[in-house]
Amino acid sequence: MLVKICGIQTIEAGTTAVEAGADFIGFVFAPSSRRLSPFQAAGIAHSLPSSVKKVGVFVNEQVETILTIAETVKLDYIQLHGDEAAEIAEVLPYPIIKAFSIDEAIHEQIDQYPCDYYLIDSPARKYRGGSGKTFDWEKMLTLPIDRKKILLAGGLTAENIQEAIEVVKPAGVDVSSGVETDGVKDNTKIRQFLSLAKA
């Protein structure tokens, strides 16, 4: 089971996630309480082993800006979390994770979108990028998408991760607020989540 810990803002949190077995580390470069500068992200990324994939999360950003940040931080993946057209994904010379809310996934033909992974999330609230709330995982079962390309997000925690994996059977899972305490990454929760997801 692939695990992405998103919204990393410190070397300590990044190192804890990697040591606990994370496959992807996510840096947010869009309006969010977890947003950080390319310079900050580069400092964290430089401290992590090359075996863990660094993901940059963008929302409706200019291609030139994405490319500049990707080069600065040495990103491995680009996550498009807005209304980006397929043409945007096609011109970016990086593997792509494209995020869709469960509502979009059900009502749009997302299987035609050119990406390496589909990240299916709960509907957004204040910021694009999910609400930190779960949705009805049974809705995932009707999606015409290869399960090997699905990353499940939205309200995942140590308490529900094993049930979520059992129902959806995704390639991987993505967590941010579910491993935080008072809006800050919690090392104990990171380790616990990864242990259960990988089990």
Question: How far apart (Å, rounded) are the C-alpha atoms in residues 64 and 51?
Answer: 27
Write down the pLDDT at residue 134.
Answer: 87
CATH of the domain at 171: 3.20.20.70
Mean pLDDT estimate for the chain: 94
Please report which confidence band the pLDDT of residue 6 belongs to, taking 50, 70 and 90 as the band edges. very high
> Rounded to an integer, what distance in angstroms lies between the CA atom of residue 134 and that of residue 14?
24
Annotated catalytic residue within 121, 136, 146, 186: 121
Strand-pair partners of 152: 120, 173
Model pTM? 0.94
**Which pLDDT belongs to residue 125?**
62
pLDDT cut 90: percent of the chain above it: 82
Q: How far is CA 83 from the centre of its chain?
A: 16
pLDDT tens digits for 26-65?
Answer: 999 999 999 999 999 999 999 999 999 999 999 999 999 9
121 a catalytic residue? yes
Domain range holding 112? 2-198
Q: How many domains does the chain have?
A: 1
The three-class DSSP label of residue 196 is helix
Residue appearing with tokens 């994370």: 22
Query: Sign of the C-alpha dihedral, residues 91, 24, 123, 186?
Result: negative
Residue 113 pLDDT greater than 90, yes or no:
yes
15 has a pLDDT exceeding 80: yes
Cβ proximity of 102 and 140 under 8 Å: yes
Banded pLDDT at 141 (limits 50, 70, 90): confident
78-103: pLDDT as tens digits = 999 999 999 999 999 999 999 999 99
